[in-house]
Amino acid sequence: MIEDDSAITQPSTRYVIGVDVGTGSARAGVFNFEGQMLGVAKRDITLFRDAGGMVEQSSREIWSAVCAVVRNAVANAGVDPALVIGLGFDATCSLVVLGEGGASLPVGPSEDPGRDIIVWMDHRAVAQAARINDLGHDVLRYVGGRISPEMETPKLLWLRENRRAVFDAAWQFFDLADFLTWKATASLARSTCTVTCKWTYLAHEKRWDPSYFRKIGLDVLAEEGFARIGTEIVAPGTPLGQGLSADAALAMGLNPGTAVAAGMIDAHAGGIGTVGIDGGPSANLGYVFGTSSCTMTSTAEPVFVPGVWGPYFSAMVPGMWLNEGGQSAAGSAVDHLLALHPAAAAARREAAAAGLSLPVFLANAAATRAASASEAVRLATGLHVVPEFLGNRAPFADPHARAVIVGLGMDTDADSLVALYVAGLCGIGYGLRQIIDTQTQPGAPVERVVISGGAGQHDLVRQILADACGKPVVATRSEEPVLLGSAILGAVASGIFAETGAAMRALSHADRTYAPTEGEIAAIHRRRYGAFKTLQEQARTVREI
């Protein structure tokens, strides 16, 4: 059931740019002050994978890509670069390691200094995370009780224990979003968003906890007064330094001094670009469905939810507490699931010939095989997927969890591939439902899910998610809400808006609502959700055998 609420407004005469650095690409979008995107550009970035769960990137390559996409987005928008007055960045929560003068340092056994980023999904620090969790320091209360190997202190500990010379030679350890703002302005200020959500900064007390770093084996960072991880912590949207430096401006084709905002983690930018619609942040769960998935729940008071990261103060919406969940693999889990099927290669070639990704091709196919998007769940009858290929981020904080597929036969035709795709989507939706249920009990309920991210743009995907999680799924008018979120930060830094909430309300607008279908379809999903939880539990029971 889809409700339409769209409108187009005239472009402004001044503009802001949002830059998003995801796992596989850098993108930039030019926006006017009605929230309309006028031009966009994208450039792929390299991902280096090695044994032991290691995933690395190059900060030099990423910065070059960022400058290129900004130039191209402005050209595609057809606007005068002199009229761009603000710039905002978001990025994955990846760890950038730089030596004196900003020189790149090798973070892995390749010994390639160009590979100076430990990517968010890198799981080399699983053992370090487990040891930190066993110590049970009080700061862990603010990460759902258990720290994740995706976060930065386990990765820093891994570096100190396994690459001591690199750790000792490091001048700065940056979250990727903070690296980008440093490159743009030369400011070493860190964003409250990055350091609170991934580094254990206690934003509600405006301090690092030295005892935590001493206890886990990173005492040197405390002894240095945290100079290498951030001594100036500012709210997202805060204008940094003197704005865009001359070198950065030249590389981007913009004016020196253009306002640059303190940035955000990419998923949180998606929250800023979406949850300001009707009902506001407390009613709207921001759901970013991309390579991974993230759930963003905002509350007026702190809510402690075991297995769900947070509560984090002012990490997304200023003055509100954030609980963050989701899964380490979401869109990538669907991709991996499909690759297991013998019909996937032929379907991928057919999709490419039509200019489509395989998931979009299969969503179209499912839509043609079912009477409606909601009825497509029947295509997956007897087939169940728990898509935890890369662990369970929430609500179990279990990096050792793995996927379960039940009901897979020897079929090799296109219909069985479509059925597997639908079952995988349902599994993503039930994981979302489980997080919503888990958060509701201690006092963080939500009324609707506001979706963003590249994996969640198809009508069939949104309807299945609504049916599976039991909440209305709302799509915003902006086709790129993550980019819009970063642009909102740039708008605040420019001074056009006095605060982030006002910018969110002005620039983000609801478009379509996908209401969960009642009756028999709802009953099917309740039964499938019960099966999902049973399979999850059994997988935990048997995996050590």
CA–CA–CA angle 287, 388, 117 (5° rounding)? 75
DSSP 517: P
Q: Which bin fits 280, alpha (ψ -120 to 50), beta or left (φ > 0)?
A: left
For residue range 211-264, what is the model confidence (pLDDT) as tens digits?
999 999 999 999 999 999 999 999 999 999 999 999 999 999 999 999 999 999
Instruction: Name the token pair of 189.
Output: 């200020």
Which residue shows structure tokens 């290129």?
68
CA distance 454 to 20: 12
Calculate the average pLDDT of the chain. 95
Q: Which CATH superfamily is domain 279-477+515-545 in?
A: ATPase, nucleotide binding domain (3.30.420.40)
Residue 540, exposed/middle/buried by CB under 10 A (0-12, 13-18, 19+)?
A: middle
For residue range 423-455, what is the model confidence (pLDDT) as tens digits?
999 999 999 999 999 999 999 999 999 999 889
Nearest of 75, 432, 82, 88 to residue 288 by alpha carbon: 432
**Residue 259 belongs to what H/E stretch?**
strand 259-260
Common-topology check for domains 2-265 and 279-477+515-545: yes
CB distance 489 to 499 below 8 Å: no
Give the predicted TM-score (pTM) of the model: 0.90
Which residue shows structure tokens 């990261």?
309
**pLDDT < 50 positions in the chain:** 1-12
**Residue 335 belongs to what H/E stretch?**
helix 331-339
CB distance 406 to 502 below 8 Å: no
CB distance 195 to 229 below 8 Å: yes
CA distance 43 to 406: 38
Domain boundaries, the chain: 2-265, 279-477+515-545
For residue range 364-419, what is the model confidence (pLDDT) as tens digits?
999 999 999 999 999 999 999 999 999 999 999 898 999 999 999 999 999 999 99
| CATH code 3.30.420.40 for 2-265 | yes
